Chain A
C-alpha cells in the first residue's frame, strides 16, 4: 500500500518538475566597462573642482603675478605656475580651477533648466495630443530651425551679456531638442498597453504622467542629459570664444582659449590647457553615455538620434 502511494507521489513529483519553465532571470544591473569607469572618474573629478576649485587654487583668477606682469606673460616657469601663465601673466592652472565653476556650473544650470522646460512641454504634448501638441510643436520647430550660435548672438546682442541671460538663452535653445526627445519618448509610451490600462482604470493625467510615462522615459532622458550638457558646454565656450559669453576678467575655459590663442605662435601652451579641460569633460560624458546605451542593448542609442 505505502509502496504504491510512494510510486504515485514520485510520478506526481516528476510531472511537477515539467510544469511551467522557471522564472526569467533577475534584472541585470547596469555595469560599466573600464572606459566608462575612467570617464566617471574624470567627470567626478571636474565636479569636485567646481565645488572646491577656487579654494585650492594657488593664485586668484584675476591676480597678475610676478614683479613685472607683462614680462611674465606666457611664462614657462613651471615651478611657480604649474601650467605657465597666460597673455597677461595670470596663472593658467588657477584660472582653469576658477573657470570650471563658470563653464560647468553655468552649463549645468542651463541644461537643467532646458530639461525642466523640455520635459514638461514634451510630455504634455505627448499625453494631450491634438491642438496642444500641434501648437507647442510648431513653435518648437521654428526655434529649432534657427542656427543656435546665431540665435545666441542675437539674443545677447539685444540683452547684453550677463550670466543670467547666458543661462536663459542656452536653456531655451536646448529645450527645443529636449522637447523633441521627450515628446517622441512620451508618444511611444502612451500607446503601450499599460498606459491604456491606467486610462481604462480611470486614472487622471497626472498619474499617467508621473507613474506610467516618466519612469519609463527616465533612463533615455538621463543619458540624453549627458549629451545635452556637452552641447551646452561647447555652446557657452563658443560664445565666450567669440567674446560674448562670460566677460573678462572672470575666467572660463572658452574665453581662456580665445585670449591665449596668439600664445601658440610663441610656443605657449596657455591655450591648450583649457581646451584640454573642455575636451576631457565633454568626451568623458560622451563615453559614459555610449557605455550606458551599449549596455541597454542599443535600443536606447536608436532613440537618441
Chain B
C-alpha cells in the first residue's frame, strides 16, 4: 500500500563553523521519506547526527550549527527556507517535538493540563475547551491513571513514566502531522520503558500520526518503527523497512550495532567462575544492614532506603545488583564505600569489621575498596590531566613518585586499553567511553580488592557500553579484583556477574548465582524485570504484554513499606492477608540461591510455566489454544 508522502528530506547538509571560520560538516547529505501514519526511526550512536537531523523537521538547529544545503519538505513545502513567521506556525501545530527528559520539559509551577493544551490553543488549532477535552481523551488513550483529573495535577505529582506519556499527550494535542520523539525512553527503567512504549505505540496507531523516533537502541526500534535509517557520523549507512534492517541487515555498521544489542538475560551468558572457589573467604561482607538518610531516630533512619541487607562478595567474584531506580542500589554501594554510614548492621572486609564512616576508616581499608562513579563527566576533575588523575592514588596510597609513577600510569592506561600519551590530556579532550575508562583506571590505580561500579555503562551508547563490559571482564581475569556491579540493566549484569542480588524497594527479594537466578523458579519481581528487557524482535512488545505479571506490574507504582512484602501491590500472585501483613520467609535453594516469598516453590514454578504457555501459545499457534510446556 503506497501511502501519501508527508515529510521528505533531500540531501540535507548541516554544518558547524569553528572559531577559525572553518566549516565542519555535521550532517553530510542525508535523504529519507516519511509517509502518513508511518514511524521512521533514526538510529545511531551519540555524535551520529540523529538529533540534529530530527530537529531539521522543525527548521531548527542547535546554536553554532547552520543548514548548509538540501531540502526538508513538509507537505511539499520546504521548512528550511520558509519565512520565520511561517516556521513558527508549523512548530507545534504541524510538527511536535518530544524531548528526552520529560522532567526537564515540564514547568513545575504550572498544572499539567495547562501545559498539555498550551500549544494547541496558542496556534489556534483548538479552543481551550476543545483542547482540554481532547487532552482528556488522550490521557485515556495513553492509559494514564485517573485520566479525567490528572490534568489538574502538577508535574511533581506524577511518576517519571507518566510524565513521559503526558509529554506525548502534549505533542499530540494539537493533532500534528509529524511527531519528533528524541530518545523518549532512554532514561527510563526497563519496566517503565515498556509501559511508555506500549502507550506510544497504541496512540500513534489510533491517531494515525507519523513520527520520527530517535534512539540508539535497536531493540526499542524493533517494537515501534516501520522504517529504519541507520546513521553514522552524519551519513546514512543503511535504510529500509524495520523487518529488513532487523532481520536482514546488510551494512557492516548495522551488524556492528546489532552485536552490541544486549541479548535477553539468560542463564549461562556470563563467564562463570569455577565452583571450586574457596567460599570461606569473603572479600566484602554486609550483615543485617539498614541505612537511609535524614539522621537516625530510635535506631532507624528518618528515611529508610535499605532494610536488613545481607550481601557477601567473594574473592574474585562479580556481584551484580539490579533493581529499578530508587530501589537503593547506589545507596548500597555508598554504604560499602563508607560514604554513607549505615544506621544498623556490620560491614566486613576480609573478615575484619569496617567502620561505617569514611573518616574512621584506615588508609589501607580505603585503598582496598574503591568506588567508580556513574558519570565520568563529573567524576574526573576537568582541571587535572589524566596522568595526575591516575597518578594521585598511586602517590597517595603507594607513595610512588617521579619516574616510577609515570611508568605505572602508562601501565594502567595500557590495562584499560588506552595509549600512554593520554597521560598529558585533559578529560575534555576524550570521548565518553574513554573518560569512563579513565574513571575506572583511577580506581584500579589504588590496587583495590573490591571495585564498586555504580551504573558505569548506563550513560554510554550500546557499542561503547559493550566495550566497557568487555574491558571489565578482562580486568577481572587479569587482576583478580572483585566487583560489585550495579545496574538497572539486567542483560548487562547477566553477561558479567557471577552472582545477582535483586533489590526491590530497599530489600533483597532474591539473590544467588547468576545462572540460578535467571532460571525458574523466579521471584515474581525478578520475572517482571526479565520479561521487561526488550528483545530485538518485531512483535515482542505485544507478546510480552500478554503475560499477567506485566499487566499488573506495570500498572502500579512502587510503595515502600516496613510491613509485609514490598512487592505485594504489584505482584500478580499476592495473597491477601498474608503478603501484605507478614514479612516473606526466605526460601533456600541449591548453591546459595535465596528467594524471599510467601509462595511455595511449586507455586512459583507453576507461575513461570503459565507464563511460558501464554508465550509459546502465541508464538507458535497464533490465537489457537496454548500448547502446554512442561
Contact surface of A with B, Cβ cutoff 8 Å: 11, 14-15, 18-28, 31, 192-194, 196-197, 199-203, 211-212, 215-216, 218
Contact = CB atoms under 8 A, between A and B. Distances in A.
A215 B430 contact: no
Contacts of B442: 197
19 contacts: A18-B232, A18-B253, A20-B464, A21-B47, A26-B429, A28-B19, A193-B375, A193-B378, A194-B378, A196-B339, A199-B358, A200-B339, A200-B358, A200-B371, A201-B366, A201-B393, A201-B396, A202-B358, A216-B383
A215 B383 CA distance: 6
Interface centre among A28, A200, A212, A216 (most CB of B within 10 A): A200
A197 B372 CA distance: 8
Contacts of A203: 396
Contacts of A27: 426, 428-429
B310 interface: no
A299 to B, nearest CB: 12
Contacts of B358: 199-200, 202
A25 B379 contact: no
Contacts of B366: 200-202
Interface centre among A27, A194, A199, A216 (most CB of B within 10 A): A194
A61 B256 CA distance: 79
A212 B371 CA distance: 18
**For the complex of A and B, 6 pairs with smallest distance between CB atoms:** A215-B383, A193-B379, A193-B378, A194-B381, A202-B366, A21-B47
Contacts of A18: 232, 252-253, 256
A15 B430 contact: no
A216 B384 CA distance: 10
Interface in B38-63: 45-48
Contacts of A24: 428-431
A232 B429 CA distance: 39
B337 interface: yes
Contacts of B371: 197, 200
A194 B431 CA distance: 18
A22 B431 contact: yes
A197 B252 contact: no
B46 A21 contact: yes
Contacts of A11: 252
A192 B383 CA distance: 13
B256 A23 contact: no
A205 to B, nearest CB: 11
Given A18-B252, A196-B339, 15 more contacts: A14-B252, A18-B256, A20-B433, A21-B46, A21-B431, A23-B431, A199-B358, A200-B358, A201-B366, A201-B393, A201-B446, A202-B358, A202-B363, A202-B396, A211-B381
A215 B431 contact: no
A134 B363 CA distance: 31
A215 to B, nearest CB: 4
A25 B429 contact: yes
Given A200-B366, A201-B446, A194 B256 contact: no
A197 B379 contact: yes
Contacts of A19: 463
A11 B363 CA distance: 50
B381 A215 contact: yes
Interface in B412-457: 426, 428-431, 433-434, 442, 446
Interface in B315-372: 337-339, 358, 361, 363, 366, 371
A298 B460 CA distance: 28
B491 interface: no
Interface centre among B232, B381, B433 (most CB of A within 10 A): B381
A216 B19 CA distance: 24
A24 B442 CA distance: 20
Contacts of B383: 215-216, 218
A24 B377 CA distance: 12
B124 interface: no
Contacts, number: 83
A194 B380 contact: yes
B373 interface: yes
B382 interface: yes
Contacts of B393: 201
B254 to A, nearest CB: 10
B585 to A, nearest CB: 37
Contacts of A199: 339, 358
Interface centre among A27, A197, A203, A215 (most CB of B within 10 A): A197
Interface centre among B45, B361, B380, B383 (most CB of A within 10 A): B383
B245 to A, nearest CB: 16
Interface string B367-404: 00001010100111111100000001100110000000
A25 B16 CA distance: 13
Contacts of B467: 20
A202 B370 CA distance: 11
Nearest to B429: A26
B438 to A, nearest CB: 11
A26 B361 CA distance: 39
A31 B397 CA distance: 40
A20 B435 CA distance: 12
A196 to B, nearest CB: 7
B249 interface: no
Nearest to B63: A297
A211 B463 CA distance: 34
Contacts of A25: 429
B233 interface: yes
Contacts of A15: 252, 256
A27 B363 CA distance: 35
Contacts of B338: 200
B293 to A, nearest CB: 15
B182 to A, nearest CB: 19
Nearest to B446: A201
A23 B433 contact: no
Contacts of B464: 20
Given A194-B381, A200-B371, A20 B431 contact: yes
A28 B20 CA distance: 11
Nearest to A29: B19
A194 B430 CA distance: 17
A194 B379 CA distance: 4
B277 to A, nearest CB: 28
Nearest to A203: B396
A66 to B, nearest CB: 56
A31 B379 contact: no
A31 B361 CA distance: 47
Contacts of B426: 27
A23 B429 contact: yes
A216 B428 CA distance: 14
Nearest to B383: A215
A193 B363 CA distance: 20
A56 B549 CA distance: 90
Contacts of A211: 381, 384, 392
A197 B397 CA distance: 14
Given A197-B442, A203-B396, A20 B381 contact: no
A197 B373 contact: yes
B233 to A, nearest CB: 7
A192 B429 contact: no
Interface centre among B45, B378, B463 (most CB of A within 10 A): B378
Nearest to B24: A25
Contacts of A216: 381-383
Contacts of A194: 378-381
Given A20-B463, A21-B45, A215-B381, A193 B431 contact: no
B86 to A, nearest CB: 30
A201 B384 CA distance: 16
Interface in B211-259: 232-233, 252-253, 256
A11 B252 CA distance: 8
Nearest to B396: A201
